[in-house]
Structure 1
Amino acid sequence: MDRMLYTAATGAARIMEAQSIRANNLANADTTGFKADLERVNAQVITPTGNSLRTRVLAQTEDAGFNKQAGALNPTGRKLDLAIRDHGMFTVMTDAGEAYTRSGAIVPDATGQLTVDGRVVQGLNGPIVLPEYRDLFVGDDGRISILGSEGGIIEQIAQLKMVNPELDTMKKGQDGLFYSRDGNPLKADGSVLVDSGFLEASNVQAVSELIASMDLTRQFEIQVKLMKSAEKLAEAGNRLIRNA
């Protein structure tokens, strides 16, 4: 009975971990550039002892990475809203160093420094600070040009640092950003192109995530019933021992 209870409890714990992954995906269904997390379950056979048979298998949740599919492009008309075509990522700075994101919702802070979700955007020569300008243009190669507040000629001021790593070499952090697995900064890739006036939507399939969440709820209920059955069997065994 103890083994049955332990197996059911382990299965319930695994389902709760899977539920948290699905819930996080659903919560970010409208987050710009978000990549859905995946789950993978590993069947771990418990080594039998004595004359026991190999009948006990425990489920263990493992990190399966993230959904690499690109999200849909939504037009915004705002020039600093950028979406990467096909493959590639923008570079931002964090306390841990360089990180990478598909979100191109770039906003200047009070000093004119470009940020994404409050994190400094990296250019080829470091952070990008916008001077006062009358108009702004972003080329498909990430070059940022402005027409000064006094008019005159259009002047290029910086170029975004964009990278194009193999996604299998990247890991996703708790903050939703991507990091290289070896911890080293990635080199800029000039082949990455962007579209100004668009944002990439999340690639979360809300309906699929909701159905998966409902299925996990049913599985959890089954594990709870097994734990209750183990409890009843234990109580029955105790009564037999007392009446013996």
Structure 2
Amino acid sequence: MFRGFYTAASGMLAQQRRTEVLTNNMANANTPGFKADQTSLRAFPEMLLQRLDQEKVPIENGLNLPFNGEVGSLNTGVYMQETLPSFMQGDIKETGLSTDLALLDINLPVNPDTGLRGSVFYTAAGIDGEPRYTRNGNFAIDAEGYLTTASGLYILDDAGRRIQLSSDRFTVSEDGMITGDAGETARLGIAYAQNPESLRKEGDGLFAATEESDLENAYNAQNVQFKLQQGYLERSNVDASRTMTDMMTAYRSFEANQKVLQAYDRSMEKAANEIGRIG
């Protein structure tokens, strides 16, 4: 009885967490460069139930032999194993703004260990001084002329320095070279992650590298091809219609587990209040 109670409860918790992830994806459907999170549900180990019984051997004095009778397997519930972002490129949208840049994947090698393609990112300076990586090319020029992300972090060049421009009238070539209105030049810092799933996701569309995922300069990475497009933005890769369908499925699964839980609750109430009552 109680095993089934906990199994249904674990299903409710897993579907609740899945709904929270899907809701966050839907809320960022219009956020440039946003990468949708994908959830992975996994069942707890199954239990094999057996019962202790005795079998009477038909001999003169009689003999009872104990044995284990197999009842069957019992699933012990489900849990959300992990949440990983999908690095599939989003659609490209024209904006006409010189400060908007889109990073286009052309040829990114497949990681032989994971079977997934790598990914390229803009490089920004985090508040703690450590590099952060993003696909959101919705940039701006601050009061001092530095190129920044929408959240105010400094965009870095390929040497790890801030990029300062005289105005927002600058041009960016497909290979990342920036030429300012006053003739200043710089090259956007683009990093390549062979295994982007190992990056740690932060807020504002930012990713941080872990010790196992130090990113290399994408310009020097072997067989990596990409280009930049000025006046365009990469949109979120959230599929709104599929996300809505998945949210409805998660809600129905939550509701089904809830009804099972209520049935167990009524059964336990009946067992506690009615069975064995003295009339």
- Asked if TM exceeds 0.5, the reply is yes
Tell me if the contact between 1:113 and 1:130 (Cα under 8 Å) persists in the aligned partners: yes
Tell me if the contact between 1:43 and 1:59 (Cα under 8 Å) persists in the aligned partners: yes
Distance 1:211 1:169, change over 3 A: closer
Residues in 1 aligned to 2:168 and 2:187: alpha-carbon distance in whole angstroms? 19
Tell me if the contact between 1:144 and 1:157 (Cα under 8 Å) persists in the aligned partners: yes
Q: What are the equivalent positions in structure 2 for 1:191-206 lying under 5 Å apart?
A: 191-206=225-240
Aligned length: 238
Residue identity opposite 1:144 in structure 2: I
Residues in 2 aligned to 1:192 and 1:200: alpha-carbon distance in whole angstroms? 13
Partner of residue 111, structure 2: none
Q: What are the equivalent positions in structure 2 for 1:98-113 lying under 5 Å apart?
A: 98-113=131-146
**Following TM superposition, by how much is the alpha carbon of 1:53 offset from its aligned partner in structure 2, in angstroms?**
4.0
Tell me if the contact between 1:73 and 1:201 (Cα under 8 Å) persists in the aligned partners: yes
Residue identity opposite 2:262 in structure 1: K
Q: Does 1:240 align with 2:268?
A: no
Residues in 1 aligned to 2:180 and 2:147: alpha-carbon distance in whole angstroms? 14
TM-score (norm. length: structure 2): 0.78
Tell me if the contact between 1:162 and 1:188 (Cα under 8 Å) persists in the aligned partners: yes
Cα RMSD of the aligned pairs, angstroms, is: 2.2
Q: Which residues of structure 1 form unaligned runs of 5+?
A: 149-154
**Following TM superposition, by how much is the alpha carbon of 1:41 offset from its aligned partner in structure 2, in angstroms?**
0.8
TM-score (norm. length: structure 1): 0.88
Q: Which residues of structure 2 form unaligned runs of 5+?
A: 52-70, 106-118, 220-224
Which protein has the bigger helix share? Answer: 1
Partner of residue 221, structure 1: 255
**Following TM superposition, by how much is the alpha carbon of 1:48 offset from its aligned partner in structure 2, in angstroms?**
5.1
Q: Does 1:114 align with 2:143?
A: no
Residues in 2 aligned to 1:197 and 1:35: alpha-carbon distance in whole angstroms? 21
Tell me if the contact between 1:15 and 1:219 (Cα under 8 Å) persists in the aligned partners: yes
Q: Does 1:69 align with 2:88?
A: yes
**Following TM superposition, by how much is the alpha carbon of 1:46 offset from its aligned partner in structure 2, in angstroms?**
4.3
Distance 1:133 1:45, change over 3 A: closer
% identical aligned pairs: 26
Larger CA deviation: 220-229 vs 128-137: 128-137
Partner of residue 164, structure 2: 130
